[in-house]
């Protein structure tokens, strides 16, 4: 499982790219990026990574789908970076396999 530093770096990098693509504005992109970094480690704070199969609802595909819907509704504001950071965490965890609860 990726560690905190990896989640933070990936979230900031993807947040910066997405922020510029979405807003084409430096200030909005930076706000989006910083907010993305704030929630990049939140899932593991909600559900401690004690082992690779520990994940519960806050690491599930159902919760990811809910977040994508929320992101699509909030994308007009850089505050959506909070949701984006959480999503990058889940996608990075999913990319590592082994712990993908459906619910």
Q: Which is nearer to Zn ion, 43 or 85 (CB)?
A: 43
101 three-state secondary structure? coil
Question: Rounded to the nearest whole angstrom, what is the least distance from the CB of residue 22 to Zn ion in the complex?
Answer: 24
If one asks whether residue 44 binds Zn ion (CB under 5 A), the answer comes out as yes
| Residue among 17, 39, 22, 44 nearest 88 (CA) | 39
If one asks whether residue 39 binds Zn ion (CB under 5 A), the answer comes out as no
Q: Which residue has the tokens 């809910």?
A: 66
Question: Rounded to the nearest whole angstrom, what is the least distance from the CB of residue 95 to Zn ion in the complex?
Answer: 11
Q: Which stretch binds Zn ion (CB under 5 A): 8-16, 27-35, 40-48, 71-79?
A: 40-48
If one asks whether residue 37 binds Zn ion (CB under 5 A), the answer comes out as no
User: What's the distance, CA 5 to chain centroid?
Assistant: 13
Paired tokens of 15: 């947040």
Residues 6+ apart with CB under 8 A from 62: 102, 103
Question: Rounded to the nearest whole angstrom, what is the least distance from the CB of residue 4 to Zn ion in the complex?
Answer: 10
If one asks whether residue 93 binds Zn ion (CB under 5 A), the answer comes out as yes
Give the binding site for Zn ion (CB under 5 A).
43-44, 93
């Amino acid at each position: 499982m990726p560690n905190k530093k990896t989640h933070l770096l990936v979230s900031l990098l993807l947040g910066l790219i997405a922020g510029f693509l979405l807003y084409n504005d430096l200030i909005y992109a930076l706000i989006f990026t910083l907010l993305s970094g704030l929630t990049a480690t939140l899932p593991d704070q909600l559900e401690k990574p004690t082992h690779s199969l520990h994940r519960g609802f806050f690491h599930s595909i159902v919760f990811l789908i809910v977040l994508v819907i929320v992101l699509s509704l909030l994308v007009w504001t850089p505050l959506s970076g909070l949701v984006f950071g959480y999503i990058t965490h889940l996608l990075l965890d999913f990319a590592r396999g082994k712990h993908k609860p459906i619910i």
